[in-house]
Structure 1
Amino acid sequence: MPIRVTHTGSLPRTQEVVDLIFARENGDAYDPATFDSVMAKNCSETVRKQVEAGIDVVSDGETSKISYATYVKDRYTGFSGDSPRNAPADLKLFPSFLKRLAQDGGTPKYARPMCTGPVKSKGQDELLKDIHHLKDAMATHGAAEGFMNAASPGVISLFLQNDHYASRDEYLAALSDAMRDEYRTILDAGLFLQLDCPDLALSRHMLFADLSDDAFLKIAASHVEALNNALQGLDPSRIRVHICWGNYEGPHVCDIDMDKVFSTFLSVNASQLLFETSNPRHAHEWQVFRDRASEIPDDKVLVPGVIDSTSNFVEHPEVVAERLTRFAHIVGTDRVIAGSDCGFGTFAGFGAIDPDIAYAKLKSLAEGTALANGRL
């Protein structure tokens, strides 16, 4: 099987979408029917652009979501107030750069409420609308396969911190129980489920910077345990898991090594593993997969990020092909899918990448994959 092409999920949203999302976010007046029609239209256009760029497994671009993690506050009870902000440890080491980011609007501003009560689903209506919009767009534009992102219990606990449950483990268990139906609903719709788990790496230098690596890995293992509990009875071959160290341009000198989180990452009950291997801080870590190839189960599919999501450089197709070939030589072409380091629209209305350049990067991703396939 040739290498297929996908990406991590979020894509730039139009100003029309952003304005409606923030009207809802800020409690301003808006027409729900207009909101739904605008999301449907823009989801369709997002899918069209992906297909045109050569993407095989498309997403809805997370069109309707304020962000990949905090959207849960709108779909689940138990959240109110605001959570404390904690800058990543690497940015604290360079305060002049952190100040510049803040002054230049380089840090997104959006609500991060605390968990202040029992977490329960408000129903699947919003999710079902997103699924309907994506499947309609796929049918219209000829996309055979699609995926939808969902937050993991661990990443929710990272951004929406606990002020209700007696312990972190109790909070994770509640989130696991609450998210189970969302995960199943996405799979039952015939889509791939993508679980976003930056908590398995990013939270090391964001929330747990004072711990040792070993102590952090125990926490990460508890996050995986909660996630796997929510995935019980679901088909791992239809599940993708994404790990990252934070989708921001910065020094990243405090990132925990892939080699240290490798076993934790592989322990998620998901077949497809999405990870960063393009940006300058993690480009060398393809070697971890080479050196520990014997530890990679046969049912795991590697989805390396071979284009960066924080730079407006458009990677040359030859660079993409070179990166993919390394992984194909480790596990075979049938167990490699071309991906991106992270999303291009992690937060609505915020992103370092020009929207047109984002799709140019996806086009180069597809062209480079074609080169790799021709050589392999």
Structure 2
Amino acid sequence: MTKIKTTHVGSLPRTQDVVDFIFARENAQPYDMGASDSCMTAAVAATVRKQAEVGVDIISDGETSKISYATYVKDRYTGFSGDSPRNAPADLKMFPSFLKRLADGGGTPQYARPMCTGEVRSKGQDDLNKDINNLKSAMADQGLEHGFMNAASPGVVSLFLQNDFYPTRDAYLAALADAMKEEYETIVDAGLDLQLDCPDLALSRHMLFNDLSEAEFLKIADMHVEALNHALQNVPAEKVRVHICWGNYEGPHCCDIPMDSVFTTLMNTKAQYLLFETSNPRHAHEWTVFRDRKSQIPDDKILVPGVVDTTTNFVEHPDLVAQRIERFSGIVGADRVVAGSDCGFGTFAGFGAVDPDIAYAKLKSLSEGAALASKRL
């Protein structure tokens, strides 16, 4: 029997004490660095233990120490200051009463998005090494061997921290790729898999580039992939995961670019593991894209479909999870499928649509569904 392994996209709910330390740093308030470090170590240990308890095979640190999956780079690299313009996704603009409801109800996370106003250079790997040490220590305590750590892609940094320094987007992407290369290599050298979060390959279509034609946008997306692959030149593809999504929020999503349009771009990333949404009601039907374009999926790619949603508090039935897994196993074989989540459960510190206990209930259902699919296959 081939065991379908399980994983998730990376971020998990943070405790309030973790959030308090993160926002003290975010808001340049005084705080005890030693107490903060101890808090992060304990929180990662708890997060890893919870993943092990619900049966997740390939685990992460939950992105515990990060304010968000993209804007954390402002704390680890030079060249960022001020504030970037905020631009709501096009689908939310189509329904202004819903957008207002989100804003009035605290449904929009609050965190700094500085511009790139100077040369982007690493401040060193101290923060990263703390994250790595916390994760590896927690894995050892639980007897776990397979873990991953998230990092922002050059493209997603350029989406949220917009350029006001380099002469062109190309030049900005190149600078980001060169600067972040060491971060990527450090994660892999530590024995962890590297996950690159790339919503810029889909979400940015209707967030930043909705004035372009689809063909023009795809040229930009391909440019982003070229920069990413350059940064990964010294990293083996089998150690890399790429996650593509259309925005981890409950909303209409009626402006999302189809998976069929970005399929080739996704396949061109230097990553063995491809993570994507398939539980989102706007994209659940797109498993057929992989079926119909099976011959265009390189033999070394492993598909990691999101078989549980991350924007609602429904806990998916294990049978439904198994059915979703079986669709993809029927396309590429059970040995080339890992069961994942649509997106993260804690995309931004202090903000998440899913109750923390329910998030882990969903991951337990994910594991139970994978076990069912493994038996059936």
TM > 0.5 fold call: yes
2:149 corresponding residue in structure 1: 148
SS of aligned partner of 2:246: coil
* Paired residues for 1:32-111 under 5 Å: 32-111=33-112
Amino acid at match of 1:325: E
2:193 corresponding residue in structure 1: 192
Q: Which segments of structure 1 move beyond 3 Å, counting only runs of 4 or more?
A: none
Does structure 1 residue 5 correspond to structure 2 residue 1?
Answer: no
Q: Cα distance, 1:306 vs. partner?
A: 0.3
Amino acid at match of 1:126: D
Amino acid at match of 2:272: S
SS of aligned partner of 1:100: helix
Does structure 1 residue 371 correspond to structure 2 residue 372?
Answer: yes
Amino acid at match of 1:235: P
1:126 corresponding residue in structure 2: 127
2:281 corresponding residue in structure 1: 280
Q: Give % identity.
A: 74
SS of aligned partner of 2:111: coil
Alignment length, in residue pairs? 376
CA distance, structure 1, for counterparts of residue 214 and residue 294 of structure 2: 23
* Paired residues for 1:1-376 under 5 Å: 1-376=2-377
CA distance, structure 2, for counterparts of residue 218 and residue 355 of structure 1: 39
Q: TM-score, normalised by structure 1?
A: 1.00
Amino acid at match of 1:111: A
Task: Summarize deviations over 1:73-102 as a string: whole Å, max 9, x none.
Answer: 000000000000000000000000000000
SS of aligned partner of 1:206: coil
CA distance, structure 2, for counterparts of residue 97 and residue 343 of structure 1: 23
Task: Summarize deviations over 1:154-200 as a string: whole Å, max 9, x none.
Answer: 00000000000000000000000001000000000000000000000
CA distance, structure 1, for counterparts of residue 280 and residue 222 of structure 2: 26
Amino acid at match of 2:205: R
Moved more, 250-259 or 1-10: 1-10
Amino acid at match of 1:226: A
SS of aligned partner of 1:57: coil
Amino acid at match of 1:199: D
Q: TM-score, normalised by structure 2?
A: 0.99
Amino acid at match of 1:165: Y
Q: Cα distance, 1:116 vs. partner?
A: 0.1
CA distance, structure 1, for counterparts of residue 78 and residue 280 of structure 2: 37
Q: Cα distance, 1:233 vs. partner?
A: 2.2
Contact kept, 8 Å, 2:185 with 2:234, in 1: the verdict is: no
CA distance, structure 2, for counterparts of residue 348 and residue 99 of structure 1: 22
Amino acid at match of 2:314: F
CA distance, structure 2, for counterparts of residue 357 and residue 117 of structure 1: 42
Q: Any stretches of 5+ residues in structure 2 without a counterpart?
A: none
Q: Cα distance, 1:61 vs. partner?
A: 0.1
Q: Any stretches of 5+ residues in structure 1 without a counterpart?
A: none
Contact kept, 8 Å, 2:16 with 2:350, in 1: the verdict is: yes
Amino acid at match of 1:178: A
> For the aligned residues, what is the CA RMSD?
0.4
CA distance, structure 1, for counterparts of residue 206 and residue 140 of structure 2: 42
CA distance, structure 1, for counterparts of residue 352 and residue 208 of structure 2: 23
Q: Cα distance, 1:151 vs. partner?
A: 0.2
Q: Cα distance, 1:143 vs. partner?
A: 1.6
CA distance, structure 2, for counterparts of residue 296 and residue 368 of structure 1: 25
Amino acid at match of 1:78: G
